[in-house]
Amino acid sequence: MLYNRSMDNKMLEGAIKVLKKFEEEQYEAYIVGGFVRDYLLDMDAYDIDITTNCLPDEIERIFPDSFVQSTKYRTVTVSMDGYRYEVTTYRSDRKYSDHRHPETKVTKTLKQDVRRRDFTINALCLDSDLNVIDYNNGLVDLKKKIIRTVGSPIRRLSEDALRIFRAFRFASRLDFEIDKDTMNAIRINIPLLKYISKERVRTELTKTLGEPHFKKVLPTMLDAGLFKVYPDILEAAKVLNRNYIQVDLIELITIASYIKGSVTDEILLSRKEIKQINQTIEYIKIFESRTLSKKSLLDVSMECIESAMKIMNVFHNSIYTLDEVNDLLKEMPISSSKELDINGFDIKKAFKLEDSPLIKKYLDMALDVVVGGYCQNKKTKITKYLKENRIDE
């Protein structure tokens, strides 16, 4: 749910009630992380995370309609006034043996908890009176607009290489600079990105592409060698950097796949997305070869056409305008091959054919003439036309 500073602060009020309830029960609790950062920057935020020295079982006792979100990370979702808050017990994360999954341990103090957090600006807390608690000079960095790891950058980025992506994401979102030492550590740790799951990379990349300052940060990302681990995406990012347009993840992957000549597997994609990417590439090819025809627009997905046109711009190659495509579409007697008034069975009967490649050829011919406007979309008319234009076996 959106927290909007200028409109209402019900979400924050609810969180404060949660903190106070913990305090009544003699526990500590603070708002922590992204919300505090966005609140201090006067930006909208989407969720509020709370950290406490209370253990999950106790949290569930204090808030009866709460439920455990993650046993491993000791996160419980607590409801208050219709809002939901993720409450996590103070913990420290250590021994990232695979650069991915930390072993987590409950800790006693807030100070220890915030040490596990990635960047100083994400390690700030608010108490129930909205006082800021800052153990890692996050306020200075917030003011200077700097992204800096909490503790040694080399160690913190090698523990979890996804933080490299996160650094660029926050830079793209907030228009912040990445601190020099953190940047050096990024360069050194880039090879570790190969340990990060495709799902996590996908999530981060999707968010980063949508951030308002991504264009400005992209050259830094390339310069740091971020995409070295993803050679196909690297090519797409280079093209984008030369001739920038805002793209979403699927469009970026389409560019990468188009350059590669087949759909890249560097990101996890659903079957539907792979189909969409292939279709968009097909249209790019049609546009490039200037072979746009009514038939090529049969069964069209406007989303793919629009993506294809957008992507053509990246390659300085826009040939058709959307208006031209729409004009052609308007002129088409049918817009889907399913609307054709004749099917394979009819053709089989009309030409007394067994299973033969000719059936498909006649169907193609039927589509051509109907879409082209040479024959009305009526079974009798089409059959007549086909009979007059028999195909030799």
Least CB distance to ligand ATP at residue 174 (A):
10
Paired strand residues for 147: 178
Residues that bind ligand ATP in the complex, under the rule CB under 6 A: 33-34, 49, 117-118, 122-123, 160, 162-163
Least CB distance to ligand ATP at residue 214 (A):
14
> Which among ligand ATP, Mg ion, none contacts residue 74 (Cβ within 5 to 8 A by kind)?
none
Residues in CB range of 149: below 8 A, 6 or more apart: 118, 119, 120, 156, 157, 163, 179, 182, 185
Count of all residues that appear for the chain in the document:
393
- Residue nearer to Mg ion on the CB measure, 50 or 233: 50
Q: Distance of alpha carbon 252 from its chain centroid, rounded?
A: 10
Consecutive H or E run containing 125: strand 125-126
CA distance 263 to 250: 11
- Residue nearer to ligand ATP on the CB measure, 204 or 266: 204
Paired strand residues for 30: 51
Which residue stretch of 26-34, 116-124, 251-259, 345-353 sits at the interface with Mg ion (rule: CB under 5 A)? 26-34
Residue 85 found at the interface with Mg ion (CB under 5 A): no
3-state secondary structure at position 3: strand
* Residue 319 and residue 288 in contact, taking contact as beta carbons nearer than 8 Å: yes
Residue 34 found at the interface with Mg ion (CB under 5 A): yes
Least CB distance to ligand ATP at residue 79 (A):
18
Which residue stretch of 31-39, 92-100, 104-112, 220-228 sits at the interface with Mg ion (rule: CB under 5 A)? 31-39
CA distance 17 to 28: 13
- Residue nearer to ligand ATP on the CB measure, 49 or 141: 49
Question: Measured at CB, which residue is nearest to ligand ATP?
Answer: 34
CA distance 43 to 35: 9
- Residue nearer to ligand ATP on the CB measure, 160 or 346: 160
What is the size of the binding site for Mg ion (CB under 5 A)?
1
Q: Which residues bind Mg ion (CB under 5 A)?
A: 34
